[in-house]
Structure 1
């Protein structure tokens, strides 16, 4: 019987039993500081979190399962017997957290590390023996194993890893590498993973346990070690010199979660959300393979001094096979407030009755120069002030309506979302905030009058989040304008950063609700007219995150309706669909979105036969290339020979990206239709 079957009150005795049972390495132990902070985290979760958190056996079981996912989410290192030996811990994590006695969970990590070290040694020994470069097998490798059963024994894992090694070598070979390059790259990859594994310390292990603990509650609650807290502070001050991209771990890969508005990556136009980074190199240095590397280490490689160049080897989000990568170059820079300022322009729409002028104001983020504001400076920068300036300028140019572009706007200062709504309404509530005790605070615009009361449309996408969703939701609820685009991110929660005796905890403390009473959480804001999107909602967005809090409602508040867009919605949608059917860019977006969805659903495994693998990849890329070239032909552009070349290099732009421009143009067309329909309705005698 496993010593864990007699789990008692003393974690120290348990650790000793595990050592006596034959563990090969010295058992890591939590430090006194970590024991103390574990109890503080338990208190924070129980009494400070928005949700009703109960650290009971049911929660412990979920957290234990998540800890196994954190350690070995692809079921590639631990065996069924390993998991069974530690299964008695399943209902002990709640007590262990409250008491600060986490040694048994450090022991589970130790088992994982032993298995992982042994596996990387096994891989390196296979490389020493020489790879079999014949790729004529009829076998396939499953791509996702999160739901796979634990391996019955080492023989089963040997079979899995033999396939994984063959796939890794085949992927590099198909990308054009010679046999010696393939072997060197794989050796570098596995030696790097082994070295990083051996450098794991108690702080790292504690962080993994806490990731399971907090991730079971909700995706935005997390423990930050002292080092992580320092990095978080740097990012919040926007003084970080890098590429301006938010990255997240995605299995063995690092994925682009979003781009910082006005940052180097967005300006370069060579990265997109859901792209995977497989290599990082400096301007003239060797490209370092980062598959399997820890997220913080990849971030450290990408960071660097302003003005320097980083090279990234990326697999585009739309690629269904990891063999198709592309090297891009980004010049590092700091993100300045002026780079994120709202900008306005006038676009002209030609119709049978003449040329119409629509103003477009792009709002990358909800910002305010807090230092200048707190210092009492009268001319401090803020989103509301900059948008107000642009509105006044555009009105002088005799526009017929305004499109407020909030695509890719991940939020920011709540006070700015609140005050920005005030530019378009004459006083009234803007958002409800509910805290953990159920108390609701109502925020609103208290200033009389609106700066702009003309036709308005708000353009959003999947990366419009938080404050953007508050603004769009309020405009929709008030009937003040149209919301067009794609469903938004769905982040309707508020976090605070609290200091602990060792590190910090980012804790979800409240939830946003629209004035209609609907939460923006999980579902986001549903546009009145929906555009196709190349951003896969199963990869990006609140609903794609584990344990995201649910959508719900509270009471609505009293508010005035400024318009009745719903009266014209059927007509507006019909006219939009007619234009979209004739627009090459819109047809491309619709067809590409459908193709991406289908390929993702169909590609559950990859062939280990080179000829078949290339045929499958070529068939998939042929479909993607054909779509792209049909669009280019319709627009009078030169066709491409390779699908992966569809994304331009830094500084190259013979055309605006279709997803960027076609949606703005169509939003303006919809707004013009709305303005004309509403004028006709008023003229016909609406009360």
Structure 2
């Protein structure tokens, strides 16, 4: 059932006839940007690529979904979120026009008809053009002419808001958003002239970039509305993005070492590459938003509203050159636009920089000395080139950890902590072999494909490298291979898993070349030997730590249409049942210690404060009220920090400043402690828990 040509043509005319004039404001170079809508038409190559994408997803995606009216409705909703995530461009009348196609996308996609998707995107471009023209006209009147004394307020999150009734309501909303933008900059310490200059440049740049929209941009956005209905890791990449896949996804490993993604008008840090310049700086953290980029000592370029690939081009550069980033820290409350500037030197991340490394923590418990070995594993790596050419000395996670275990045991350690915090995964082979160092021979992970066939992966090597007390510390950014290893340790009862629930990425992707671009899609799912999925929920620790990331949308469960957690039949494996009965006592001892630990008390209180700030629905557009709200937050923050300092015997602060630990990204959960600022409290507590385990095991042995 497809639309007739006559009906389609008349509907498209209705979609396109808005009567919106072309832009009249000038760009930063004095040239008026022109939005050329006539050139934004689908090509034959794009039509064929869309048909190939539909067929690949129908036949091979893990999530077998029928392409019918129900799926069409979901594609419609996803596309609307892509086009207008904060419902601030389209009117209710626009949505009524679009609703005619809610149950037609399946027919259109099966026919390779891209016209409706392009028409809807075209209207979005027209509305975006209207908004920029309106903003620039308002700014031309002067920021100082805006009134910040009334009782107006603005809805913080408009994702589920009602669509503005008409164009008049749209303009009223745009005016509120611009006032909010100005207020945020005022509270961040910018004066009126600086705000005026910044916003004029920002909107001029956005206008220029809007006029550079290509047919390829529209096609990629539209076809991804289909792809991401299947799951969030399924993605169409245009020929340009496919060619620069490493650049777009991780800035390659020669750059700053950060994985970035678009977040409305901002560029957000998703994770930091271990041993990369960003991670080494200790000044950047996941969920920080990049709003400016400067080369060396050059002028800071505002990148709010820029496309991700354009921001990436600015950040990348020759090895050894410097780049400065202006970021809004993730720890800021929603209304706080206070920024920090971070200077980085671009460099290639070498394998040896990412290699596992060890240290020893020393404790004195009730007059008895303990030594706890720590092995930090930043990623699951293997030197594939050396491995393939048969080099007997090739580097890998398993080989390095085996060596470190041997060295630590020679130092007479009492237990081992394996630190997988911020470990985003890597080689599946290495996750399997590393598991074998601690459990010996046996299955380590199950892989289930779209047909339901299950493959059991194990380490074929018998024997273990270490059989003593073991703890694995994880956090929200421990993902994929890290979750496979931690899940196996937990299922086998081989050691304690401590920290935060992990990321929850338990799916496998494959990249398929198309006639035009590439399709990355999910074709399998990971399961633990117990049959539990690592997908969505992640690995839930035996003993949990508080985390400031609890108030940040990070993790698989925060992604739209993430595949669900589920179970399959377990495979035969031999679990040690001696550890599980001791966990309740270990939790009691940990909680008693945490109640007296200033770092844990502070973190819990900070989580509560962040949640309270994020639960607000509206922000006042009255400057006096907004400043009062910010001062209240800062006063509460200062009180929490001084309570922590007092308990530690440190000097109290009279005000928050740039050197305050609250501004230090290393205090985010799993962030490594700066060696100059003392030990990592979470790592130290893990050592204490291992010592508790040793004592309880001795008591059990004595009683038996």
What TM-score, normalized to structure 1? Answer: 0.95
Task: Name the CA distance, whole Å, in 2 between partners of 1:32 and 1:23.
Answer: 29
| Matching residue within 549, 559, 562 for 1:535 | 549
Task: Name the CA distance, whole Å, in 2 between partners of 1:291 and 1:179.
Answer: 19
Q: Using a 3 Å threshold, how does the CA distance of structure 1 residues 239 and 306 change in structure 2: closer, same or farther?
A: same
Displacement after TM superposition at 1:100 (Å): 1.5
Task: Name the CA distance, whole Å, in 1 between partners of 2:502 and 2:664.
Answer: 28
Q: Show CA shifts across 1:555-588 (max 9, x none).
A: 0111111342111112111111121112111211
| Matching residue within 587, 610, 613 for 1:596 | 610
- Unpaired runs of at least 5, structure 2: 21-36
Partner residue in 2 for 1:635: 648
Displacement after TM superposition at 1:254 (Å): 1.9
Local SS of the residue matching 1:46 = helix
Local SS of the residue matching 2:120 = helix
Q: Show CA shifts across 1:384-435 (max 9, x none).
A: 0010010000001000110000000011100000000000112111011100
Q: Using a 3 Å threshold, how does the CA distance of structure 1 residues 236 and 61 change in structure 2: closer, same or farther?
A: closer
- Over the aligned positions, Cα root-mean-square deviation in angstroms equals 2.3
Partner residue in 2 for 1:551: 565
Task: Name the CA distance, whole Å, in 1 between partners of 2:302 and 2:7.
Answer: 39
Task: Name the CA distance, whole Å, in 2 between partners of 1:565 and 1:470.
Answer: 20
Task: Name the CA distance, whole Å, in 2 between partners of 1:238 and 1:324.
Answer: 26
1:1-16 paired onto structure 2 within 5 Å: 7-9=3-5, 13=9
1:383 aligned onto 2:402: no
Q: Show CA shifts across 1:100-136 (max 9, x none).
A: 1101110111111111112211111112222314421
Q: Using a 3 Å threshold, how does the CA distance of structure 1 residues 661 and 329 change in structure 2: closer, same or farther?
A: same
Partner residue in 2 for 1:664: 683
Partner residue in 1 for 2:484: 470
Partner residue in 1 for 2:29: none
Task: Name the CA distance, whole Å, in 2 between partners of 1:548 and 1:654.
Answer: 32
Partner residue in 1 for 2:450: 436
1:313 aligned onto 2:326: yes
Partner residue in 1 for 2:91: 79
Q: Show CA shifts across 1:350-375 (max 9, x none).
A: 11132100000000000101111011
Partner residue in 1 for 2:40: 28
Partner residue in 2 for 1:371: 385
Moved more, 276-285 or 139-148: 276-285
1:48-447 paired onto structure 2 within 5 Å: 48-131=60-143, 132-233=145-246, 239-320=252-333, 321-447=335-461
Moved more, 305-314 or 507-516: 305-314
Task: Name the CA distance, whole Å, in 1 between partners of 2:233 and 2:666.
Answer: 36
Aligned residue pairs total: 679
Asked if 2 retains the 8 angstrom alpha-carbon contact of 1:238 and 1:336, the reply is no
1:509-658 paired onto structure 2 within 5 Å: 509-536=523-550, 539-601=553-615, 603-640=616-653, 641-642=655-656, 645-647=659-661, 656=675
| Matching residue within 34, 40, 45 for 2:52 | 40
Q: Using a 3 Å threshold, how does the CA distance of structure 1 residues 72 and 20 change in structure 2: closer, same or farther?
A: closer
Partner residue in 2 for 1:485: 499
Displacement after TM superposition at 1:18 (Å): 4.9
Local SS of the residue matching 2:159 = coil
1:675 aligned onto 2:687: no
Moved more, 19-28 or 32-41: 19-28
Moved more, 133-142 or 641-650: 641-650
Asked if 1 retains the 8 angstrom alpha-carbon contact of 2:673 and 2:680, the reply is no
Asked if 1 retains the 8 angstrom alpha-carbon contact of 2:60 and 2:450, the reply is yes
1:508 aligned onto 2:518: no
Asked if 2 retains the 8 angstrom alpha-carbon contact of 1:476 and 1:482, the reply is yes
Task: Name the CA distance, whole Å, in 1 between partners of 2:39 and 2:69.
Answer: 26
Moved more, 289-298 or 207-216: 289-298
Displacement after TM superposition at 1:511 (Å): 0.4
Displacement after TM superposition at 1:235 (Å): 7.2
Asked if 2 retains the 8 angstrom alpha-carbon contact of 1:11 and 1:102, the reply is no
Asked if 1 retains the 8 angstrom alpha-carbon contact of 2:16 and 2:119, the reply is no
Task: Name the CA distance, whole Å, in 1 between partners of 2:621 and 2:322.
Answer: 36
Task: Name the CA distance, whole Å, in 1 between partners of 2:483 and 2:415.
Answer: 21
Displacement after TM superposition at 1:537 (Å): 6.0
